[in-house]
Structure 1
Amino acid sequence: MAPTYRDATINSVEATATVSGSTGGGRDEKGNVYFFPNVSVSIGYWFDNEGIPSSDWNTHFKAQLWINGEMVNKKQDLSAGGPQTYTFFAHKFPAPGTYKVEVRGKNSKSVDVTIKNPPVQEKKAAQ
């Protein structure tokens, strides 16, 4: 049987550090998460399996990553066990700012991602 491709129904989207324990960002004074430029950020999303079992190797769910209204990546995934599947895009943001990040399939879900420069480390004078 030939593979089929469906646009994924996106349930939710989030931004997290790609590597667990990453020092690629932090939290501001209000507790909002931010990341540093040129550090890999995971744009994770859940999509609805639409009743397709994980044993179905023929049905692929398609999604696209859009940043500030421009498509930057696309992928297709098989369903996992349960009612929905989690997967992610990895992306490096080049400069400080706030980016509107969308994952699009049958629908679209978005999250704002804030990028800030790392704090400047003061050099200690030689003693």
Structure 2
Amino acid sequence: MLKQLIQLFAEKFLVCKKEWVGSQAFPMQRVDLSTELTEYTPPADGFLGIYKAGFVSNAFIDMYCRDSGNRIISRQNISIVSGVASYSQVIPVKKGYKVTLGATQNSISELWFAPSEGSES
């Protein structure tokens, strides 16, 4: 009887919390950053995003996050030879882990950080 009661409580608790736990990874706001940044250390877990639209010639963007062992854990790389392009990329980033941005001049129109709903800043 006690075992069944504990099992029932655990099932109800987990069902109620499953959606809440899953939503903790979603972005909760947008913090605009300077498009001139070459390094950024996020104050919380979240996402770093870039956007550009229009004519682009010989442009590249290399955006990556390294862990405490200096290994790349997330990365986006875009190269455009010539033409009209529109791109938007987002990479997950971890609090305190440095993100490096390499880009040709004017290849990023918007740069932002979006902390995760459940992150602690």
Q: Which structure is higher in helix share?
A: 2
Using the size of structure 1 for normalisation, the TM-score is: 0.34
Q: Which structure is higher in strand share?
A: 1
**Structure possessing the higher relative contact order (Cα contacts under 8 Å, 6 or more residues apart):** 2
